[in-house]
Each structure stands twice: as C-alpha cells, then as structure tokens.
Amino acid sequence: MKYETLTIEHKNKIAYITLNRPKRLNSFDIKLGNELYDALKNSNKNDNIRTVVIKGTGKGFCGGGDVKEMYDAENKTEFLKKLTKAIHKCVIEIRTIEKPIIAAVNGAAFGAGLSIALACDMIIASKDAKFGTAFIGIGLAPGCGTQFFTRLVGYQRACEYILTSKIFTAQKALELGIVNMVVEPEKLDEAVEEFASKFRTLPPIAIGKAKMLINKSLENSMIDHLELESITASKSAGSLDFNEGVTAFVEKRKPVFKGK
C-alpha cells in the first residue's frame, strides 16, 4: 500500500515507519491515524519483521493533533471524537503487537505525539527533543496519554506537567524515567539502529510473550499474574526456539533463533 502521510521501509528484519507531514510537524490528522494503524498492522503480520521503529521527518517527531484541522472543523466535537479514536487505534496496536516498538524522537513530541511515544516500548531521544502534553494550552481536555504519563511519573508530577502544559527537555524526560536514552542529534539514527539490531537475533516468540506479560502486569493481581507467567512460559517451552536455546546452552554455542 502506498501511503500519503508516512513512509515505511523494511531493512534487515526492522520496519522503519516515518511520519511524513513535515510542514505540519508530522501532526495527526485522521488520515495519518488510519495509515499509521495500517502500517503497524502490516508490520505485525509480517513474520520477517522482528521490531518496529517509529520516527518523524524534519524537525519534529509528532506535534500532536493537527490544530489547523481542529480550527477548520465545522463540528469540532465530532471531529475530535473521530481524531482521538484514530489515534487510540494506533496506541492500542503499539501496545498489543508482540514485537518491540521503538520511538526515535528527533524533535517535538507534543500531545498525541507524546502519547504515541509513550505507547512505544522504548524511547530514544535526541538531545534537542522537546516533550509536552499540550492539550490544556489550547483549551482541550487530554484526548490520550494521561494513563501512561501518570503511571510513569506519579500523580503529583503528572498534575504538574499535564495541568500546566509544561514543556520539558529530553534530559528531564530521562530523569523522569520516560525515555531510555538521550543522544546527540547526529547520533540518533546510529543509536536507534544499534538498539533495534539486538532484536534481529533474539527469540521473537519469547520477546513477544515477555512484552505481553509486562503489559498484563500493570492490571493483574500478583496471583493471577504468576499463573499467567506459568502458562506462558510452559507454552513457549514447546517452541523450536526454546529447544534451540537450551541445546545451544548445553553445547556452549550461540543460539540461532528462527521464530518457530
């Protein structure tokens, strides 16, 4: 499928999805929401893809919802409902895909852009990146991201940053535990490639189930989660990858995982 608002490139088991509306700071309109969702779904179905990287063209990662389109909408209530639903589909897909998703934040990540980054499993940010929830600044209740942000930084800090639309730097995001790594702008692509390349050789079935368990741990009771871990581990023990892993361990060699 040819996309109008993003590009996608498959390179050696990694899918690079690049938001491509640079004149609008890669902000979300409904088309971008639908196309990103489609690109994520297709990457999930492709067994040759081990991990996905989401990044932005130009000066920003994603500036949030397209404010100009909000302004132009005749029925703003209906438009915001459709826009948030389009973004939510992407957030849910990112979290439920059993493949690692890495956000490469090169610049502004505001509003829905911050929400998309927070939905990703890991975030690598340029030193020049800026973050903010943004919604309150235009008189809008947050349409996404409050749950992720609050879980990461705690209630009082969430109120400080969300209720005041406070903009913060990549270094502050690192201190808050929001991003995994901050690098010089010219080193961002290299750092992302190095990070993503780890998943080319790691066992994809085990990685996917581990991601699922991490997400389920946020909602399960301890006893329920221990049971889920037991069931998941025992099922994954039936994979060829597990057989290869234990065999390689006994034979003192590196395993070659095939995702089966």
Tokens representing 237 are 């023990």
In the chain, where are the structural domains located? 6-200, 204-250
* pLDDT at residue 114 in the model: 96
Query: Above 90 in pLDDT, residue 40?
Result: yes
* pLDDT at residue 2 in the model: 85
Strands 181-183 and 168-169: unpaired
Average pLDDT over residues 91-117: 96
Superfamily of domain 6-200: 2-enoyl-CoA Hydratase; Chain A, domain 1 (3.90.226.10)
Question: Global pTM?
Answer: 0.94
Query: Above 80 in pLDDT, residue 69?
Result: yes
Query: Above 90 in pLDDT, residue 106?
Result: yes
The angle, 0 to 180 degrees and rounded to 10, between the axes of the packed helices 222-236 and 204-216 is: 170
Measured in degrees and rounded to the nearest 5, phi and psi for residue 142 equal: -55, 130
Average pLDDT over residues 210-221: 95
Please provide the average confidence, as pLDDT, over all residues in the chain: 95
Which residue in 217, 234, 233 sits closest to 225, CA to CA?
Answer: 217
Query: Above 80 in pLDDT, residue 1?
Result: no
**C-beta contacts of 7-13 below 8 A and 24+ residues apart:** 7/57, 8/39, 8/42, 8/43, 10/46, 10/48, 10/49, 12/200, 13/48, 13/49, 13/50, 13/51, 13/199, 13/200
Query: Above 80 in pLDDT, residue 61?
Result: yes
Which residue in 66, 65, 62, 64 sits closest to 54, CA to CA?
Answer: 62
